[in-house]
Structure 1
Amino acid sequence: MTSTVQAVSQSQSGRDSTIARVELFLFKQEMQNVAFDVSPSGIDMPDVRSSRTRLAITLETRDGCKGEYIGGRSDIVPHLSFGAKRVLGQSAFDRERFYTDLRRHLRKEDRIGLSQLDIVLWDWLGKQLGASVSDLLGGGKDRLPAYASTWFGGDGSGLEHPEAYADFAEECYGLGYRAFKMHGWVDGNVERERSAILKLGDRVGGRMNLMHDAACHLITFADALAVGRACDEAGFFWYEDPYSDLGLSAHSHRRLRELLKTPILLGEHVRGLESLATLVLAGGTDFVRADPNFDIGITGTMKIAHFAEALGIDVELHGCGPAHRQCMAAIRNTNYYELSMVSPSRGQPVNPFYAGGYSDLLDDVDSDGSFPVPKGPGLGVEYDWDVVTRNLVNHIVIE
């Protein structure tokens, strides 16, 4: 089946949009000042060197047009490979059909692995048509207000005690940020979490919008309630993934919403538009999470955003990157770009893979606390492929 856009494009240019080749690259990225041994989520840790495996994908059509993307989880390669094999020989314009068909084929899985395939198809589309993804989605924003979102704290880290979070928030305010989110500690210590929340409220409350993300480390509903009441006292903007139900229980979070003033944010761990809609309609959350790297790419993220808009609530994108910026630029009902993960020790890549000036580093925020939306074709960024090839772990070619 030939789509209208495909037919118009091919009739005007004579180009062949048939997908001819997909390549997957797994490579090591060296990190400084962040440790992954205590928690795979990462803890701010001065003078520590570590590494993590990253994923890159390219997709090329018969006319030579190529989409590129680096991002997302590296453990989804089997599902990504499956999806790439299924789209080979088909039109790169048919993203909506791929979304429907591939998600059905992987209905017994979490489908995260389809996200990178969808994103690279959007990058291909923008390059084919000479437009940024945000313009193709409707655009509307050139700059995005950001919040600084921390690594986790730990013993010996730059975020070892509650005062360190308040100190770091002050530092971020000085850089231009007007919103700040703390990821606390991974041991479920309620009193330490409460102390950090209250110190943040005392130090920067009224000057910065403040968020707390427990990342499901609190153990019980009672723990979540106690920390939430500290958020109420400090006037927090939202309270995210409070405890160990993994942000999945609509009933318990509806009860939290009834008992707390601070809005709840869930959705990071809910897979699929329909499951997220069920959670929202059951009263489980105030804000909705979406992520191009988790929610079947840009296509899935925009479906979630439009669902939230129809209900009159906001969607907040999880994480950062060019796909996130392109989506957020075209979403009305959203507030902040998450600049994650950051810390006083500057836990960040030693060998960033972006070229051409794009950055998601803490200190590269503009003085007004915002980041620009890339305006080049597709995702609007250039990658340093020498970094990928020098640190290559595995290379898979599907053709």
Structure 2
Amino acid sequence: MSIISRVAVHAFCYELEDFDHNMMTYAKNGRSPVTKFVTVIETDDGLRGEFAPHYMANAMTCAQVSQMAPMLIGRNAEHRSRIFEDLKNAFRHFDRAGVAAIDGALWDLAGKKHNCSVAQLLGGYRDRIPAYASTFPGQSKPGGLDSVQAYADFAQQCRELGYPAFKIHGFWDGKPESEIAVMTAVRDRVGDSMRLMTDPASSLPTFLDAIEVGRACDDLGFFWYEDPYRDASSSAFGQKKLRDFIKTPLLVSEHIRGFEQKADFLLAGGTDIVHIDPELDGGITGTMKIAGFAEALGIDVQIHTAGPMHRHCLSAIVNTYYYEMGLVGPGMFNSMQPPIYTCGYGDQLEDIDSDGCVSIPAGPGLGVTYDWDFITSKQTNLSEISG
């Protein structure tokens, strides 16, 4: 039995070059401070599990992990499901993003204890998975995706790199004609050589706007249509009505937290494909619950954003298509990925094989190693508890 004896949360800050302060906009010679964190869990028999979130490595999640840490001391580190349930209940008044950071570290620890990858622990289905290029949003400032032409050029670049599919995050200006212009230009450029998707990120103001763009998806043969309008993809009634007007499959529920709520949303007819984010939906434990439920109903899922934990989940999920390589753009670093890997892991535009696939990390646990010299040199806070 491995008893948890110490939990540490290492917050660190570094500068991102050529970005505006929002980390979404290219700005030549710009410098944006980025704060992220790593969760470390140690046990009385010398084991250590580590997890560094990408997308949700923010101050809010970091604070949650520090609040949750005392509940772990003295617990069996292999009781991941029990810890998941206890944290889910104790923090039911919050979004519970901290659960994922703890769950990721516990799975990493378990893999290292048994000298196998998380994918093996999950009973892997695949070793590699096709990736799609998921763009940064458009911008009005020069650089990046600053025009309709830039989207078409970038889609062609991604196709030449080997990506089989391309997802558009448009200008998010709330104008259907803007979304449709980008969609049309990209389709005209790549023809039928790529599957195309679009994600207005809930920016379309009205239901009728969502129908207009959805019908353009139908006409252009888009693979899915994601988070269309300003219900923030949280109204099962509204999304079900939208499905009645269009043919393109809807991918929503990214903003519905937790497996019970996602199950309710799916049963209410709110989506065609379930969207899961391991960093928001309870880590690997929560993700596999949702994926299994959807599979039982014959429904596909897609994993939101990228990271080692995401890849291990995808290794064991049958009912899914792609890995989301994002966010990417012309000459732009994927700002979600912290520059902390010493093992060659990466979620940058070029980090795919020639056939458009990415590999599942094969080492023990999550299969990645962190640059602790870099992390400690940039450390801004250390929260730890032991017992």
Normalising by structure 2, we get a TM-score of 0.95
Matched, 1:355 2:342: yes
> 1:67: which partner in 2?
49
> 2:360: which partner in 1?
373
Letter in 2 for 1:337: Y
Tell me the alpha carbon deviations over residues 35-90 of structure 1, each in whole angstroms, 9 at most, x when there is no partner: 244xx6x1244443212211211100011110011113322123212221101111
> 1:12: which partner in 2?
none
Equivalent of 1:384 in 368, 371, 380: 371
**Secondary structure of the structure 2 residue equivalent to 1:382:** coil
Letter in 1 for 2:369: E
Q: How does 1:296-315 map to 2 (within 5 A)?
A: 296-315=282-301
- Report the alpha carbon displacement of residue 329 of structure 1 after superposing the two structures with TM: 0.4
- Given that residues 219 and 243 in structure 1 are in contact (C-alpha distance below 8 angstroms), is that contact kept between their aligned partners in structure 2? yes
> 2:112: which partner in 1?
127
**Secondary structure of the structure 1 residue equivalent to 2:319:** coil
Equivalent of 2:201 in 206, 211, 215: 215
Count of residue pairs the alignment pairs up? 381
Tell me how far apart the structure 1 counterparts of residues 211 and 20 of structure 2 sit (CA, whole Å). 30
Equivalent of 2:82 in 68, 82, 97: 97
- Given that residues 351 and 387 in structure 1 are in contact (C-alpha distance below 8 angstroms), is that contact kept between their aligned partners in structure 2? no
- Given that residues 290 and 318 in structure 1 are in contact (C-alpha distance below 8 angstroms), is that contact kept between their aligned partners in structure 2? yes
Tell me how far apart the structure 2 counterparts of residues 256 and 359 of structure 1 sit (CA, whole Å). 37
The ranges of structure 1 where at least 4 consecutive aligned residues each deviate by more than 6 angstroms after the TM superposition are none
> 1:238: which partner in 2?
224
**Secondary structure of the structure 1 residue equivalent to 2:120:** helix
Tell me the alpha carbon deviations over residues 111-158 of structure 1, each in whole angstroms, 9 at most, x when there is no partner: 111110011000000000101000000112111100010111111232
Tell me how far apart the structure 1 counterparts of residues 25 and 210 of structure 2 sit (CA, whole Å). 22
- Report the alpha carbon displacement of residue 232 of structure 1 after superposing the two structures with TM: 1.3
Tell me how far apart the structure 1 counterparts of residues 17 and 151 of structure 2 sit (CA, whole Å). 20
Tell me how far apart the structure 2 counterparts of residues 187 and 352 of structure 1 sit (CA, whole Å). 31
Tell me how far apart the structure 2 counterparts of residues 84 and 45 of structure 1 sit (CA, whole Å). 38
- Given that residues 159 and 165 in structure 1 are in contact (C-alpha distance below 8 angstroms), is that contact kept between their aligned partners in structure 2? yes
- Given that residues 289 and 316 in structure 1 are in contact (C-alpha distance below 8 angstroms), is that contact kept between their aligned partners in structure 2? yes
- Given that residues 220 and 244 in structure 1 are in contact (C-alpha distance below 8 angstroms), is that contact kept between their aligned partners in structure 2? yes
- Report the alpha carbon displacement of residue 205 of structure 1 after superposing the two structures with TM: 3.5
Alpha-carbon distance change, 36 to 220 in structure 1, aligned in 2, over 3 angstroms: farther
- Report the alpha carbon displacement of residue 388 of structure 1 after superposing the two structures with TM: 1.0
- Given that residues 45 and 347 in structure 1 are in contact (C-alpha distance below 8 angstroms), is that contact kept between their aligned partners in structure 2? no
Tell me how far apart the structure 1 counterparts of residues 129 and 309 of structure 2 sit (CA, whole Å). 13
- Given that residues 374 and 380 in structure 1 are in contact (C-alpha distance below 8 angstroms), is that contact kept between their aligned partners in structure 2? yes
Letter in 2 for 1:106: F
Equivalent of 1:248 in 209, 234, 244: 234
Q: Share of identical aligned residues, percent? A: 48
Tell me how far apart the structure 1 counterparts of residues 30 and 178 of structure 2 sit (CA, whole Å). 24
Runs of 5+ unmatched residues, structure 1: 1-5, 7-16
- Report the alpha carbon displacement of residue 233 of structure 1 after superposing the two structures with TM: 1.4
**Secondary structure of the structure 1 residue equivalent to 2:350:** helix
**Secondary structure of the structure 2 residue equivalent to 1:101:** helix
- Given that residues 342 and 371 in structure 2 are in contact (C-alpha distance below 8 angstroms), is that contact kept between their aligned partners in structure 1? yes
Tell me the alpha carbon deviations over residues 183-233 of structure 1, each in whole angstroms, 9 at most, x when there is no partner: 111321221111001111211231111111111111111121111122111
Runs of 5+ unmatched residues, structure 2: none
CA RMSD of aligned residues (A): 1.4
- Report the alpha carbon displacement of residue 251 of structure 1 after superposing the two structures with TM: 0.9
> 1:345: which partner in 2?
331
Equivalent of 2:33 in 51, 54, 66: 51
Tell me how far apart the structure 2 counterparts of residues 81 and 190 of structure 1 sit (CA, whole Å). 43
**Secondary structure of the structure 2 residue equivalent to 1:278:** helix
Letter in 2 for 1:152: P
- Given that residues 201 and 227 in structure 2 are in contact (C-alpha distance below 8 angstroms), is that contact kept between their aligned partners in structure 1? yes
Letter in 1 for 2:6: R
Letter in 2 for 1:120: A
> 2:124: which partner in 1?
139
Equivalent of 2:317 in 331, 334, 337: 331
Tell me how far apart the structure 2 counterparts of residues 105 and 216 of structure 1 sit (CA, whole Å). 30
- Given that residues 214 and 242 in structure 1 are in contact (C-alpha distance below 8 angstroms), is that contact kept between their aligned partners in structure 2? yes
Letter in 2 for 1:19: I
Matched, 1:174 2:160: yes
- Report the alpha carbon displacement of residue 351 of structure 1 after superposing the two structures with TM: 7.0
Deviates more, 1:92-101 or 1:70-79: 70-79
